[in-house]
Structure 1
Amino acid sequence: MPARRTLVSNPADELDYGTLRLDRTGQAEAFDAIGERYDEAFPHKEGQVAAAEWLIGSLPPGSRVLDLGCGTGLPTARQLAEGGLDVVGVDLSERMVELARDHVPGCEFHRADIADLRSSGSLHLGRFDALTAFFALLMLPRAEIPLALRTVRHLLVPGGLFALSMVEADVDDFAIPFIGSSIRVSGYLRDELREVVETAGFEIVGESSYTYAPAVADIQPEVQIFLRCVRHS
């Protein structure tokens, strides 16, 4: 995938993808290099586990779920699959996709950008009953996050469930050291995050937060926000 590309928009269902220049420089490469160390750096994922349990308890067996930014497939894709759901995972990092396929062999995984999943994008996976985005939108600049949320809405059936997590931080495309590499991240303060999600067409039906201290020295303690949402019809 090129480091930079300009996408042509479909005015009927896209906002500004036609004029927004997407810059993924170094993002996938960082996670390719991190590989298995990601799960070592974040050994406790109580928020993700609880959010996935909400989905498992809310959906009938066999429901389709998209794990956006699936990483190594642990714990979310495996947990959802073991809970009887039909899981598809997507990640920008080829190495993460390889690990996910090894960890959760019964699921379907694709290397793709979230922009590839929009209605006029290159990867068509159909509609889903639920979608998870655990820290996936963190990797986008703020200008793109509303577009990504509208892509999520497009991928969900009416009334579909959406489990989202972000780190609470007032930053935009900000470079940070990360497990021996460097990535760029964005974030919102809590009230602003809620506003962005609701404006994109979701009802927030639950919220939780966790203070998390990763197990590596170059990542600072963080506050993780988890939102449980429903797509408006």
Structure 2
Amino acid sequence: MAFDTIGARYLEAFPDKAGQLACGEWLLTALEPGAQVLDVGCGTGDPTARQLTDGGLRVTAIDLSDGMLQLARQTVPTAEHHRIDMYDLATERAVRAWGVPELGPAAVGRYAAATAFFSLILLPQAEIPEVLGRIRALLRPGGLLALGMVEADLDDTPLPFLGREIRISGYLREELELILHRAGFAVEAHSGHPYAPASTALPPEEQLFLRCRRVD
């Protein structure tokens, strides 16, 4: 898996985390101490899992990359970490294939919030609404979602990244908000951040950060 070898070099490529940290502050302000948060695609654990656990929240961090999870466990040892495909959240496969019952059907409504910073961009567009629906199922009524995406009309497009090839999907802002609405989320705030990745051949991009709430 590409991210097993990329590891900590990801932080070199994307050192500016201002938008992501601002979303973390939103969650820390909005949630009660000890609230459970699901970090979807936790990467190295820095900054989100670290920020939220330091702020008194209980974080369950998931990733499909063993290399990233190894770093995340070192970065945020107080978080709970699981290797699981995000596409299997809230399904029986979370139990049967991954051995994580706390992320299967029994966990519906368990989490006060979820974060997904630049993890859904690794899915084909056809799978993103399904995963958003599964994240929503794990949230309690009124639960929060902090989402980071790239604003671009891309669908499973191969791009070079730190010596490897990864496949990226993105949406234009209006289409992304429509998809979130259809998945059962209200977008309460959004911001865009022009950004030029460092140490990579990727072109400048527009990063989108959306603050959403589960609606019923």
Q: TM-score band, normalised by the shorter chain?
A: over 0.9
Deviates more, 1:162-171 or 1:111-120: 111-120
Structure 1's unaligned 5+ residue stretches are 1-28
Contact 2:121 2:168 in 1 (8 A): yes
Asked if 1:149 corresponds to 2:132, the answer is yes
Written as runs of structure 1 = structure 2, the 5 A alignment for 1:149-188 is: 149-188=132-171
Matched residues, percent identical?
55
On the 8 A contact 2:154/2:168 being kept in 1, the answer is yes
Secondary structure of the corresponding residue to residue 31 of structure 1:
helix
SS in 2 for 1:152: helix
Structure 2 counterpart of 1:53, from 20, 25, 49: 25
Where 1:153 maps in the other structure, the secondary structure is: helix
**Deviation of 1:180 (Å):** 1.0
Structure 1 residue 44 displacement after superposition: 1.0
Higher helix share: 2
Q: CA deviation at 1:121?
A: 2.7
1:64 is aligned, of 36, 58, 81, to: 36
Query: Is 1:207 equivalent to 2:190 in the alignment?
Result: yes
* Contact persistence 1:115–1:121 (CA under 8 A): no
Structure 2 gaps, min length 5: 95-99
Give, in whole Å, the separation in 2 of the partners of 1:124 and 1:159.
Answer: 23
Match of 2:6 among 30, 34, 38: 34
Residue 95 (structure 1) aligned with residue 78 (structure 2): no
In the alignment, structure 1 residue 43 sits paired with structure 2 residue 20: no
Residue aligning to 1:197: 180
Query: Any conservation in 1 of the 2:13–2:200 contact (CA below 8 Å)?
Result: no
Deviation digits for residues 122-169 of structure 1 (CA, Å, limit 9, x no counterpart): 233222000000011100001101100100111101100000111001
- Given that residues 180 and 218 in structure 1 are in contact (C-alpha distance below 8 angstroms), is that contact kept between their aligned partners in structure 2? no
Aligned mates of 1:135, 1:208 — CA distance in 2: 15
2: CA distance between counterparts of 1:148 and 1:130? 15
Q: TM-score, length-normalised on structure 2?
A: 0.93
What whole-Å deviation, never above 9, does each CA across 1:176-197 have from its counterpart, x for those lacking one?
Answer: 0011111001111110000000
Moved more, 200-209 or 122-131: 122-131
Is the Cα–Cα contact under 8 Å of residues 179 and 219 in structure 1 kept in the other structure?
A: no
Counterpart residue type for residue 226 of structure 1: F
Task: For 2:200 and 2:186, locate their aligned partners in 1 and report how far apart those are by CA, in whole Å.
Answer: 37
- Matched letter for residue 164 of structure 2: S
- 2:17 is matched by which residue type in structure 1? K
Equivalent position SS for 2:72: helix
